[in-house]
Each structure stands twice: as structure tokens, then as C-alpha cells.
Chain A
Amino acid sequence: MALDRYARQRLFGWLARGAAALVVAVMLGVVAVTIYRGGRVFLTDPAIAVTPPGSRYMLEGDGGFLHAVLGSIFIVGPATVVSMVLAVSTAIYLQSDYSSERFADAVNMFLNVLWGTPPIVYGVFVLTVIIAVGAQTSLFFGIVAIAIFQYPIMTRYTDEALRSAPETVKEATYGLGATRFETALMTVRAALPGVVAGIVMGFARGIGDAATVLFTAGRSTNMPGGPFEPATTLPVLIFDQAMSFNAEVRSHAYAAAFVLIVAVLALIFASKLLAGRYARFAPGGRHS
């Protein structure tokens, strides 16, 4: 017998609530376990995050993992900046002022494909380039691989944000005698919360990704020596630590994961604050 409409509504209501509760529970679980297990290790000895590794760190756990913390900063920082500049420029170019809709649609589809491409593929691609030019794996190629990985994510987010900015902002700005470039800057400003969200998302994905840097940065166990010297990042380190035979090194994996998740959460929180300040200025305002 079919359910009546109100029973169906109740059923769907429970399904929806259940789905939402499940997702939230898993997310909280991931964060809680990382913070609990990692936090315990990290807080008993916070110095491990700022201590360079000893010569036998992976085997005996002497020293800390400052090399990966710095590696992450030196690789993902520049990659995010490069990717951000390219992504915002591309997204501006894909707006109707510069490109036809068909062209923009085609590029966006291509970017979606890139977005869906597994990061290990970027890693292999950059490795091919490294071999072709006869270079060695290094911090620099880690930056290249992460930037390529972040670019489609940031571009799609920025493009969507710019598209959702009111057309009237463009009209008003052009109506004042602004150039295309000035109008584009104003549109970015009007869409700033969305643009910032996209850049933060790209950063978070970049700092959390292991596959892209696995073969490109060199998986070094030493402090980063320079742009063309091998380096490593936290996700790769966590993998290496977790595979270690030494129990202490394995426990450090949780501490490193703790550092990583706290950094990402702090950044997301900070960007929300920043975007909130700008939301007041967005057309329509926050109050309306």
C-alpha cells in the first residue's frame, strides 16, 4: 500500500535528517580523532613541530619534523600565490566582457575535467617533465605540481563567484566610464567572499595533498636546502611516518596530522572572518 503524502513527507524528513547527521558525525569524528590522538602526542612534546629531524629520524624518531612543516609552507605558499594569480586572471577572462559564452563553457568543462583528474596524474606528469629536462626532484617542482593541481579548483570557484556578482555592478561601473580592467577589479571586489573561499579551498586542497608532491618534491628527510634541493611536505611525511617500524615515529604521524588540520581550520576560520567583513560591502549588504 502506498504511503499517504504526509507519511511520505515525514519519511523524507527523517531520511534527510539522518543523512545530515551521518555526514556531520563523520566529519566531527575525523576532526575529533585527529585532534585527540594527534593533540595528545603534540601537546606532550610540541617541540617536535619546530625541531629539525635527526639523521635517523625515520628509523628512531630523533628530532622532529620541522623539515616537512617548512616544506609545506615553502611549497604550498608560493604555489597558492601563483595559482591564485593565474586563476583570478583566467576567471576574469572567462566573463562575458572578454570571452564568448561558448568559449567560456568549453574552458569550464575542460577545467572540470582537470578538477576531477586524480592528483597522482599531475605528479606523474611533472615527473615526466623532470626526467625530460634532466632535472632532479626538488622543492621547485613540488611548487609546479601543486600549482597545477590547485589551478582548476581555484579557477572554477572564482568563475562561479564572479558570475554570481550582480550584473548591475558591471553596468554601473561601465556607466561611469571605467575600462574593462577597472570593471573586472570591481566585479572581483563585489564577489570577494566567494573568490576568497575559492582560494582558501585551493590552498586547503594543496596543503593536504600527498600524491602531487610524492614524486616531484623529492621526499626528503632533511631540512629544505633551497629551491632546487629535495623537500617534503606534511602529507607525504605523515605517510612515511605511519609506515615506520618505530612506534614513536608512528605516533608522530598523528602529531603531524594535528598540525595540518589545525592549520587548515585556522585558515578557513580566518578567511570566513575576512569574507564576513567584506560581505557588508557587497551589493545587497548583509542586512538585507
Chain B
Amino acid sequence: MTESTDTTLITDDLAVTYTGNRTVDAVEGVSLEFSANRLTAIIGPSGCGKSTLLKSLNRLHEIQPNVEITGDVRLNGESIYDTDEPTPEVRRRIGYVPQKPTPLPLSIYENVAYGLRIHGDYGSTEELDERVESYLRKVNLWDEVKDRLDAPGAELSTGQIQRLCLARSLAVEPDVLLCDEVTSALDPISAETVEETLADLKDEYTIVMVTHSMDQARRLADDVVFLYLGDVVEANDAESFFTNPQTERTKAFVGGSDTAASGATGGNERDDHAAAAGTDDADGARTDPVRAER
């Protein structure tokens, strides 16, 4: 990653294990830095732990049963796991936008106002009105919905709903915004408007975005993390990542499609990984690709 004066979000040997019927190490000992006011794209093939990593950054995986986590995540130096702070306060500072555009079962206005209401974060009705408007403007949605703020959020188009979700997340004033493949469910035109919105937002917010689209990472990202089977293969600023990849696997992934990448890595490593999944895998001494490169 690039030198940054105020890194906001750090993971320290973060590992996430699903302990259901079958033990799966979804994320294995990841140490990363997400720099302030930059957009970091986490890329990698499907099922490589991208979403799991993202959700562990604001403890959202805790709403699922059978998840174990080791290591730590720190926001501005303070652990979000080893803390007395209630988890909702953590999630307030590190917001999350789901992959599937999901309106809350409320009006357009109330979707945005919801976060402000639950946190009691507004003085008067006028202030609430103003702030709802400002967040809708930030995501370039205000002009499209200003005449029907009382209509159900569910009646918007999917692209509009996704921007509504962004506005809703911004309304709680998070420091960090986690975006989980927020354009994957959208048609190309809606995806473009959401991308434009993200590009506007990254000046003000620290954004961590999961995507499986290499092109999207290229268009939007300042930094890129390449995750493969729960491990960080490479993490770098976007320009270096794409022009001068450091590992063979990155070269294959950047150069080709997702399938080419998994094909290039061969069957052996998959087997190794599967074998390791069954054993005690919490060795903190794992060589960390990020650190190794620095």
C-alpha cells in the first residue's frame, strides 16, 4: 500500500472460521491497512472470502451463527473487537452497504432518516429534512426522488435503490464505508451511476469495496487487495498493482479472467488449502504477503 499519513482501518492477523457442520477457514491471517479517504478494492474470484473479510471489518459476521474470529481490527488505533463499546456503535462508524439493493420497508425519506432516528442524531424536524436532502444529493438521487419522498423505497428502480442504500449509510456519518459488490445486481447503466457516486464519495470517506470485476477495480480503486482462498496474495496501490504485479498469480488474474486465474494456480494449491482447513490453522507466523512486500 502507499504511504499514508492517517491510516484509518487496520487488520492484524485477522482470521475468520466458519464452524458449522464443516470447518472452513474463510479468511486466514490477513493483515492490511486501509488508508483514509481512499477507495480500496478487494478483488478475487468468487468464494475466496472477500465478503467474509468485509463483514469482519465491522463485526457484521457476528449476526450469523457459527463464526469464529481471531486477530484484530483497529479503527484509528482502537480495537473494534477488544472494546467495551457496544457493537452497534462500531457499525455506526464503519458502515456497510449490502450487495443486494435492499430498501428498508419504509418510505424513501424514512430510509435515509432511519439511521439519524435510531442514533437520535438530529435536532429538529427541519434539520432532519435538510440532512436527508443533503445525503440524497450526495448520491445524486435527490432530483429523481424529491417529488415522491413519501413513496415506498421499494418502488424505485434497483439502481436508484442502491444509491438510496448509499445515502442511508452516509446518514449515520460513518468514517468508513464497506461496500459489498454494490453494483453486481445492477444493469450496466445503473452500475455506472453507482460507480460515479462512489467516485465522488471517496474524497470524503474511506471506502472498502468488494468487487469481482477487474475493470471496476481499475476504474475506481486507489488501492487494490487481491484475495485468494482466504489469503492476501498481493496488496498495492492500484497503479502498481495493475501495471507491475508482484506475483505470478496476480499476473494471471490481472491478465485474464477469473477462470484463467484459478486455472493458472493449478489444482495442487487447492488441495493444500483444503488439507490445511481441517487442521489447526491459527498460526500467527504465517508469511504475510503484504508485509513481505513492504
Contact = CB atoms under 8 A, between A and B. Distances in A.
Interface in A172-212: 172-179, 182, 186, 189-190, 192
B58 interface: yes
B105 A171 contact: no
B65 interface: yes
B135 to A, nearest CB: 12
A175 B91 contact: yes
Contacts of B119: 177
Contact of A173 (B86, B90, B104, B178): B104
B88 A179 contact: yes
Contact of B104 (A101, A169, A278, A285): A169
Contact of A177 (B100, B107, B118): B118
Interface of B: 58, 60, 63-65, 86, 88-93, 95-100, 102-107, 114-115, 118-119, 152-155, 165, 168-169, 172, 178
A246 interface: no
A101, A172, A175, A178: most-surrounded residue (chain B CB, <10 A) = A175
A168, A172, A280: most-surrounded residue (chain B CB, <10 A) = A172
Contact of B63 (A174, A280, A288): A174
B102 A169 contact: yes
Contacts of B115: 176-177
Nearest to A185: B118
Contact of A175 (B64, B97, B153, B154): B97
21 contacts: A97-B63, A168-B99, A168-B100, A171-B60, A174-B60, A174-B63, A175-B58, A175-B96, A176-B91, A176-B92, A176-B95, A176-B168, A177-B95, A177-B172, A179-B86, A182-B118, A189-B106, A281-B105, A282-B105, A283-B154, A285-B155
Contacts of B60: 171, 174-175
A97 B60 CA distance: 12
A169 B63 contact: no
The 6 residue pairs across chains A and B that have the minimum distance between CB atoms: A177-B92, A175-B96, A285-B154, A168-B102, A281-B152, A281-B105
B88, B97, B172: most-surrounded residue (chain A CB, <10 A) = B88
A5 interface: no
Interface in A155-171: 166, 168-171
Nearest to B151: A280
B89 to A, nearest CB: 7
A175 B169 contact: yes
B6 to A, nearest CB: 23
Interface of A: 96-97, 100-101, 166, 168-179, 182, 186, 189-190, 192, 278, 280-288
Contacts of B89: 177
Contact of A283 (B96, B105, B169): B105
Contacts of B165: 172
A97 B103 CA distance: 20
Given A177-B92, A280-B155, A282-B154, A192 B168 contact: no
Given A280-B152, A281-B153, A285-B155, A176 B118 contact: yes
Contacts of B97: 172, 175
Given A177-B92, A192-B105, A280 B168 contact: no
A186 B63 contact: no
A286 B91 CA distance: 31
Given A280-B152, A280-B155, 17 more contacts: A100-B65, A172-B104, A174-B60, A175-B60, A176-B114, A176-B168, A177-B88, A177-B89, A178-B88, A179-B86, A186-B105, A190-B104, A192-B105, A281-B107, A284-B154, A285-B154, A288-B154
A189 B107 CA distance: 12
Contacts of A178: 88, 118
B91 A190 contact: no
A171 B100 CA distance: 10
A278 B118 contact: no
A71 B60 CA distance: 50
Contacts of A286: 154
B267 to A, nearest CB: 33
Contacts of B153: 281
A98 B101 CA distance: 25
A269 B105 CA distance: 22
A169 B104 CA distance: 6
A169 B105 contact: yes
A176 B105 CA distance: 15
